[in-house]
Amino acid sequence: MEPGEPREPREPGPGAETAAAPRWEEAKTFYDNLAPKKKPKSPKPQNAVTIAVSSRALFRMDEEQRIYAEQGVEEYVRYQLQHENEPFSPGPAFPFVKALEAVNTRLRELYPDSDDVFDIVLVTNNHAQVGVRLINSINHYDLFIERFCMTGGNSPICYLKAYHTNLYLSADAEKVQEAIDEGIAAATIFSPNRDVAVSQSQLRVAFDGDAVLFSDESERIVKAHGLDRFFEHEKAHENKPLAQGPLKGFLEALGRLQKKFYSKGLRLECPIRTYLVTARSAASSGARALKTLRSWGLETDEALFLAGAPKGPLLEKIRPHIFFDDQMFHVAGAQEMGTVAAHVPYGVAQASRRTAPAKQAPPAQ
């Protein structure tokens, strides 16, 4: 008999009374297994680490985008309705969200009553009719996303604040820029050019340093005076912590959850691992980066100083679920080598980009 297959009812016979208890247990187990897997309740947003993802970050919608661009909104909605029962393919944020949920499972085992977990919110300006296909897709992949925010074409920024968002990931660079300008940690997420398998059980997050975890104050010196002056400056200011950058708060949130594993003696088996991947060189300018993190009471599990070498090959070895950088050059290099990379539009490196923005008005973020 297959597990879960209904059993034939047995005739009560001699000794039925004594056998009743185990049979009842058996039946209860059987029906418990039949019931849908009990999902945990949503945590309170102010306690959780809230990750807002857009529909195009979570799922691939290339064909739908093409229909929207070529045939307009009516045809787009019609297509979505016709394909309502067909789940979307996973998008660039999908493995990241899966890894967040794997961490949540471990946290709930260790701290069953705590709200200190990741809470994933789907933020989209899609047409309400498309919502059913999104819900179907979420259920198809067994994702735990209870909060939906359908903004009906409005900017998601005020919702992001209301949800106490710790990180916002979108495929729409304009929305991300708006969020960054409002002081919300945000990044435009890009699919890798090829697939690289990522860990199912350990969340790995890689950060650039300057203009991501740190402010862009040192990068301004490189741009204005060149690398030699930058090295001198960083050496001279080694003990002066850098100001914080847009993603510092997210690293802090990851650190807070990591400590929950450490306090249970699970430092080595911690299902969250963080990486600093910086173009700084260890000898000349690395100390200031590390001392800054230390001054904040933060650390990354690994710190990799590339001294200007390309980041892509190293990221290919780390296999993070997401890598954040403020320079499109590094984002493209990471993508090339199979890493999901996210662009943080902050700091002096954006100056040239902002003068010639690529305008596009997609239907969904």
Contact residues: Mg ion, CB under 5 A = 208, 210-211, 326
Kindly list the distances between the CA atom of residue 335 and the CA atoms of 84, 92, 339, 340, in Å, as whole numbers in the listed order. 31, 11, 5, 6
Q: How far is the CB of 189 from Mg ion (least distance, A)?
A: 17
Q: How far is the CB of 180 from Mg ion (least distance, A)?
A: 14
Q: How far is the CB of 234 from Mg ion (least distance, A)?
A: 14
* Residue carrying the six token digits 């050059």: 329
User: CB–CB of 50/186 below 8 Å?
Assistant: no
Of 174 and 219, which CB lies nearer to Mg ion in the complex structure? 219
Name the DSSP class of 88: P
User: CB–CB of 53/93 below 8 Å?
Assistant: yes
User: CB–CB of 285/229 below 8 Å?
Assistant: no
Q: How far is the CB of 245 from Mg ion (least distance, A)?
A: 9
Q: How far is the CB of 349 from Mg ion (least distance, A)?
A: 7
Of 95 and 209, which CB lies nearer to Mg ion in the complex structure? 209
Q: How far is the CB of 210 from Mg ion (least distance, A)?
A: 4
Residue nearest to Mg ion (CB): 210
Of 107 and 212, which CB lies nearer to Mg ion in the complex structure? 212
Which residues, 6 or more positions from 52, have their beta carbon under 8 angstroms from its beta carbon?
120, 121, 122, 123, 149, 156, 160, 163, 165, 167, 168, 169
Tell me which residue of 350, 56, 45 sits closest to 223, measured CA to CA. 350
Of 119 and 210, which CB lies nearer to Mg ion in the complex structure? 210
Tell me which residue of 101, 110, 125 sits closest to 51, measured CA to CA. 101
Which spans in the chain are helix H? 16-34, 55-58, 62-71, 73-82, 94-110, 130-140, 157-162, 173-181, 217-225, 227-236, 248-262, 287-295, 312-318, 328-336, 351-355
Q: Where in the sequence numbering do the catalytic residues fall?
A: 208
Of 119 and 208, which CB lies nearer to Mg ion in the complex structure? 208
User: CB–CB of 104/118 below 8 Å?
Assistant: yes
User: CB–CB of 246/95 below 8 Å?
Assistant: no
